[in-house]
Chain A
Amino acid sequence: MESVVLSVSDLLGLVNQTLEFAYPTVTVVGEVASFKVSRDKYVFFDLKDDTGLVSCFMTVYQLRTVIEDGMRVQIIAQPRLTGWGKFSLTVRDIQLVGEGHLKRSAQLLRAKLQAEGLFDATRKRSLPFMPQRIGLITSAESAAYADFIKILGQRWQGVEVLVANVQVQGLEAARQLTRAITFFNEQAQPVDVLVVIRGGGSIEDLAAFNEEPLVRAVAASRIPTVVGVGHETDTSLCDEAADVRAATPSNAAQLVVPDARAVLLGVEQHMNTLFTHFQHRVVIQTSSVKNHINHLTEQMRHRLQTLQQQTNTTAKLLRQLDPMKTLERGFAIVRDQEGKVVRRAVQQASAGSNVTIQLAHATITAGVIDVQE
């Protein structure tokens, strides 16, 4: 067999073609060493184990978690020879492996974002009391989704829920979650509140919620956010960046809508208050009218009594002045012949003339025999 003579570049090209054909991508696990970011654009590090070491390259934009030397990672990469004949892995994706490293990475990212003020209490917005449209970001096949919809329905009705069905675990999860947040924020008619939920899981399962681009997307959302990831004890960086943290997906539903029963009870209490105040006012007004009537009646009665007394006094006086009473006591009225009462006997009666004597019950006509004064 004849040997083929190749240029160095051709050789490198041939090897790279062979590698691309045989191993378009490889997944490799190892420990990070000599981690370095160059010009804020390029990331270089070595991936090693007890006996081997391979150089790796990626852009800083692909870096979604904080990496440092000693951390154990799993990478998806494309193997290739560089122009200098150096074997290298061009990393497409990188993921931390192991609880300790995930926690450490989250700690480092928390410190970084905290320094930027991303978790400040002053950034937190309150949620609308009665949202009419809710953007829900989760896996539509998950128990978290079922719990949220169930609790939402138990508490409140009349709301429109738009569900972005995304992966909530694995390499793609953070990217899909981030895209969904961006999608809702770009709508001409944005929803009233964004809810990001996921059920419980291991720290690896929840790792997506500690990835920097997603945490930043939650913090930057112009729509108020509620994040409920994992169980009560799990706190992701997305939880910390959200306006409101929900302990669980069910708790997210409790936080996002009021309880219709409580609202109805409040309405009932309002009605009782209204009725009580209205009734009280009617009683006061009725009592006031009654008092007026009583006062008037009393005044009338008093006036009548006074008039009665005055009438009685006058009647008594009149009775005392009745001439008949005097006649009954034995007195008599003497009239002359013209019928005038005789007051001056010498002038009105003379001997031989007649007078009329009126007694109480009789009248006597008598002749005058003598007149003396």
Chain B
Amino acid sequence: MSKSKTEQPLQSQLAALDAIVAWFTEGDFDLDLAATQYAEGVAIAQSIQQHLTKLENHITILKERFDAAEK
């Protein structure tokens, strides 16, 4: 089963939000569909905001040594 848009990686979510905004700016549209799209846009935006405010960077210093003699 495919992931919902709010479960996708951040970059995909931003792309999805861009697409919704483009859809709205393209002109004529059905109001019912617009309501669905608007709700989806809001959900994606909230998900992105959560992503960006809750995540942390993970830093690992590798154990590999790079001073070994050349093979």
Binding site for B on A (CB under 8 A): 129-130, 132, 140, 149, 152-153, 156-167, 172, 175-177, 179-180, 183, 260, 263-264, 267-268, 270-271, 273-275, 277-278, 281-282, 285
Partner of A162, one of B11, B20, B62: B62
Q: What is B's interface to A at a CB cutoff of 8 Å?
A: 9-11, 14, 17-18, 20-21, 24-25, 29, 31, 34-35, 38, 41-42, 45, 48-49, 51-52, 54-62, 64, 66-68, 70
Q: Is the CB of A166 within 8 A of B41?
A: no
Q: Are B57 and A153 in contact, with the CB atoms below 8 A? A: yes
Shortest distance from the beta carbon of B13 to any chain A beta carbon, whole Å: 9
Tell me, in angstroms, the Cα distance from A329 to B57 when the chains sit together: 110
User: Which listed residue, A140, A152, A278, A285, touches B24 by the CB 8 Å rule?
Assistant: A278
A131 to chain B, nearest CB (A): 10
Given contacts A129-B11, A172-B67, A285-B31, contact A158 B56 (CB under 8 A): yes
CA distance A297 to B61 in the complex (A): 77
- Least CB distance from B18 to A in Å reads 7
The prevalent SS among residues of A at the interface is helix
A278 to B49, CA, bound (A): 21
Known: A130-B11, A264-B49, A273-B21. A160 touches B60 (CB 8 A): yes
Interface of B is mostly: helix
Tell me how far the C-beta of A24 lies from the nearest C-beta in chain B, rounded to whole angstroms: 16
9 interchain residue pairs of minimum CB distance: A158-B55, A277-B24, A157-B55, A176-B66, A179-B66, A163-B61, A161-B59, A260-B52, A278-B38
Residues of B within 8 A of A273 (CB): 21, 24-25
Tell me the bound Cα distance from A225 to B25 in angstroms: 37
Instruction: Give chain B nearest CB distance to A129 CB in angstroms.
Output: 6
Q: How far is the CB of B70 from chain A (nearest CB, A)?
A: 7
A-chain residues with CB within 8 Å of residue B59 when the two chains form the complex: 149, 161, 163
Is the beta-carbon distance between B45 and A270 smaller than 8 angstroms?
yes
Smallest Cβ-Cβ distance to A136: which chain B residue: B59
Most buried by B among A163, A165, A274, A281: A274
Contact B58 A161 (CB under 8 A): yes
Query: Which residues of B lie under 8 Å from residue A162 when comparing CB positions?
Result: 60, 62
Task: Report Cα–Cα, A140/B25, bound state, in Å.
Answer: 49
Contact A263 B48 (CB under 8 A): yes
- Asked if B61 contacts A274 (CB within 8 A), the reply is no
A270 adjacent to B41 (CB under 8 Å): yes
Contact of A281 among B31, B42, B66 (CB under 8 A): B31
In the assembled complex, the CB of A112 is this many whole angstroms from the nearest CB of chain B, namely: 22
B67-A167 in contact (CB<8A):
yes
For residue B31, give the distance in angstroms from its CB to the closest CB of chain A: 5
Name the B residues within 8 Å of A132 (CB-CB). Answer: 9
In the complex, residue of chain B having the shortest beta-carbon distance to the beta carbon of A179: B66
For B31, the closest partner residue in chain A by CB is A285
Question: How far in angstroms is the closest Cβ of chain B from A110?
Answer: 25
Cα distance, A159 to B31, chains bound together (Å):
39
Select B66's contact among A156, A180, A268, beta carbons within 8 Å.
A180
Cα A271 to Cα B57 in complex, Å, equals 27
B21 and A267: CB pair below 8 A? no
* A271 close to B41 (CB less than 8 A): yes
Given A167-B67, A273-B24, A274-B38, A157-B56 contact (CB < 8 Å): yes
